[in-house]
Structure 1
Amino acid sequence: MNEFDLIGRYFARPARRALLGVGDDCALLAPPPAGEVLAVSVDMLVEGRHFFAGVDPHTLGHKALAVNLSDLAAMGAKPSWFTLALALPRADEGWLAAFADGLFALADASGIELVGGDTTRGPLTISIQVAGHVPAGGALCRDGAKAGDDVWVSGRLGAAAMAVRHRAGELALPVEVLARCAERLDRPAPRLALGERLRSHASAALDVSDGLVGDLAHICEQSRLAAEIDWTCVPVDPALQDMPEPLRQRAALAGGDDYELCFTAAPAERDAIAAISAELALPLTRIGAMRAGTGVTVRDASGRLLDLGRGGFDHFSSP
């Protein structure tokens, strides 16, 4: 099977919204609807850095697209199309079929279509570029937070980080706990519907990929404010309930791989956000507030500051 057989067999699909999709030198795409702008993002996943060797290819296909869709969700954008660049050590037909199934299952559920890309031989690496559209002036950016805004987070945190530690051999999770944690690590749910609904209510947003504290620091930096978080309000995944509190704190506050949305909003928006939470059947939890100053602080139940070091993962300074 050569490169073009591989593309034709596993990734070529008839174009639905694109004017021309997979199979030519370029895709042809219509401009976004009037009054809207494009939102574009790209992420790379490298074996041994972003995912463990030997991970199930179906879940890898899902996650590779999910982490990119999460960026669109954080901006309040509606997905439209994506491209895929894939480096493979060999053309393994079983692996490719499972990967493509996982990828397209999420693509179809999210209303996004593959319009092109590239393949080559090399260390297993997946690079996906996504694009969506958002009303002009309506994107949720990191620089919009205001002093006095509440800080919110969606879902439950920490389970994915514990799965990473288990697979790295740092600890051993019970079978039932590992199943829950592995599901959160391998199959994150991009919060696309939430992102779109928050456009009229949130002042700033981002997705939690490298750890809540480290990621929230980006909103602080861009908005030139500080954030103060109450640890007792942080929604920790129930799978971690029997673990020592320091372990739970590290996983939920600095563990990463959650792909939930962290956002800020004025106190006047609390009822509207509660209504969105009920509509989507998705927990949205108020965990702190934005204040004058710099950086992120976290206080425990007694009011003491927690020391989390960097507070998140960094691709060049983390192990």
Structure 2
Amino acid sequence: MIANGEFNFIARHFRPLAGEGSLDLRDDAALIPARPGFELVVSTDTIVENVHFLSDDPAETVSRKLLRVNLSDCAAMGATPFGYFMNVCRPPDRDDRWFESFAAGLAEDQQLFGIHLLGGDTTGIKGPLVLGVTILAWAVAGKAIRRTTAKPGDNVWVTGTIGDAALGLLARRGELPDPDGFLGSRYQLPQPRLGVATAPIVHAGMDISDGLLQDCGHLASESQVNIIIESPLIPLSKQVKAAGADYWPLCLTGGDDYELLLTAPPQNADALRQQAAAAGTDITRIGRVTAGTGEVQLLDANGEAIELAQRGWQHF
């Protein structure tokens, strides 16, 4: 009876989302045909109730966030996503009506981003709702953007605005005014910046999930360079500015931005701006790469170093 319940659950909610290679979700695995001249990019993320989303977040925003944090990884590597696997650990308090909305959110973003479900796994859990996606994408062979290839002399760039999601979580908890709902929406629905990062315009990159400063540290460490960030250049939304300067450290360390952090040589600045505009996002130069061994320095308007007590989100 348990197996039939699981299969019926999959058939009701997730079979309509299946596409090429999924075998209609009737087998134990998917079949992905090879694509000559490309490399398969695989990335996975897990989100947990009351860690990455709130219990009262609408089901359709939970499912879309689940997809989008994975799409952001593809964007950072300059890859084009086509399908995903999904794991659902379902607690007893999430009924069929909730999953109808959850699946509707997936369907909306599948159409928006041109992807489909390939398979996955479902199980019950006595605890919070736990959701995982493994996303598959194609990158031109030898052209995937890496964290390890930033070069001294590069400029450092970020897409969009920084800190919205960190303040959005406070807004969703009722701890910060959010009169137009912008901050809360940025926490609930990240915007994957697909189509911005491509080689050879971009040397290195990653998405910002653990906070701008901490992810700059990851990039600097992996590339064995130093990164200097000029704080006045960091792009902030009008809503973050309105919140006040007391929240500024949280904006740089709070995480969940899912914007892109990129390095590129100065001569590629115009091409990168044009590429970002074509992808529908702003992009801002915030600093530079220098020779070094993985250090990050944050400077104020006078070029003086700023020290913050915390650098970013810690998973453990």
Name the counterpart of 1:9.
12
Q: 1:94 aligns with which of 85, 94, 97?
A: 97
TM alignment of 1:1-319, pairs within 5 A? 2-13=5-16, 16-18=19-21, 20-31=23-34, 33-90=35-92, 92-122=95-125, 123=127, 124-168=129-173, 171-176=175-180, 179-195=181-197, 198-251=198-251, 253-293=252-292, 294-316=294-316
Contact 2:167–2:176, Cα closer than 8 Å, also in 1: no
- Matched position secondary structure for 1:18: coil
Distance (whole Å) between structure 2 residues aligned to residue 223 and residue 41 of structure 1: 20
* Secondary structure of 2:195's aligned partner: helix
Aligned partner of 1:301: which letter? A
Q: Deviations over 1:127-180 (max 9, x none)?
A: 1100111011100000110001000000011111001123446x321423xx00
C-alpha change, 1:235 and 1:286, in structure 2 (3 Å) is same
The aligned amino acid for 2:96 is: E
CA 163–278 in structure 1, closer or farther in 2 if over 3 Å, else same = closer
- CA spacing shift, 1:248–1:19, aligned 2, 3 Å: closer
Contact 2:171-2:183 within 8 A present in 1 as well: no
Quick one: which amino acid aligns to residue 231 of structure 1? S
What is the CA–CA distance in structure 2 between the aligned matches of 1:299 and 1:239, rounded to whole Å? 23
CA distance in 2, matches of 1:15, 1:53: 27
Instruction: For residues 90-147 of structure 1, give each alpha carbon's deviation from its aligned partner in whole angstroms, at most 9, with x where no partner exists.
Output: 2511100001111121122111110111111113100110011101110000011000
Identity, % of aligned pairs?
A: 36
Q: For residues 303 and 272 of structure 1, do their structure 2 counterparts lie closer, same or farther at Cα, with a shift above 3 Å needed?
A: same
> Closer, same or farther in 2 for the Cα pair 1:254/1:305, shift >3 Å?
same
State the distance in 1 between where 2:132 and 2:276 align.
32
Separation in 2, partners of 1:219, 1:22 = 38
Deviation, structure 1 residue 310: 3.6
Cα distance in structure 2, aligned partners of 1:98 and 1:15: 17
Runs of at least 5 residues in structure 1 that lack an aligned partner in the other structure: none
Q: Tell me, in whole angstroms, the C-alpha distance in 2 between the residues paired with 1:247 and 1:172.
A: 10
- SS at structure 2 position matched to 1:192: coil
Give distance in 1, aligned partners of 2:85 and 2:280: 31
Q: Name the Cα RMSD after superposition.
A: 1.6
On the 8 A contact 2:87/2:120 being kept in 1, the answer is yes
Distance 1:109 1:156 in 2: 22
Partners of 2:110 and 2:6 in 1: CA distance = 22
Inter-partner Cα distance in structure 2 for 1:183 and 1:281:
18
Query: Is the Cα–Cα contact under 8 Å of residues 229 and 298 in structure 1 kept in the other structure?
Result: yes
The Cα offsets for residues 170-201 of structure 1, whole Å up to 9 and x where unpaired, read as x321423xx00011111111111223xx2230
User: Aligned to 2:57, what secondary structure does the other structure show?
Assistant: coil
- Change over 3 Å in CA distance of 1:100–1:19 after alignment to 2: closer
Q: Distance in 2 between matches of 1:16 and 1:103?
A: 13
Q: Distance in 1 between matches of 2:32 and 2:178?
A: 49
Q: TM-score, normalised by structure 2?
A: 0.93
Q: Kindly provide the amino acid, as one letter, of the partner of residue 101 in structure 1.
A: A
What is the DSSP-based 3-state SS (H/G/I as helix, E as strand, rest coil) of the residue aligned with 2:30? coil
Deviation at 1:235? 0.4
Which SS does the other structure have where 2:15 is aligned? coil
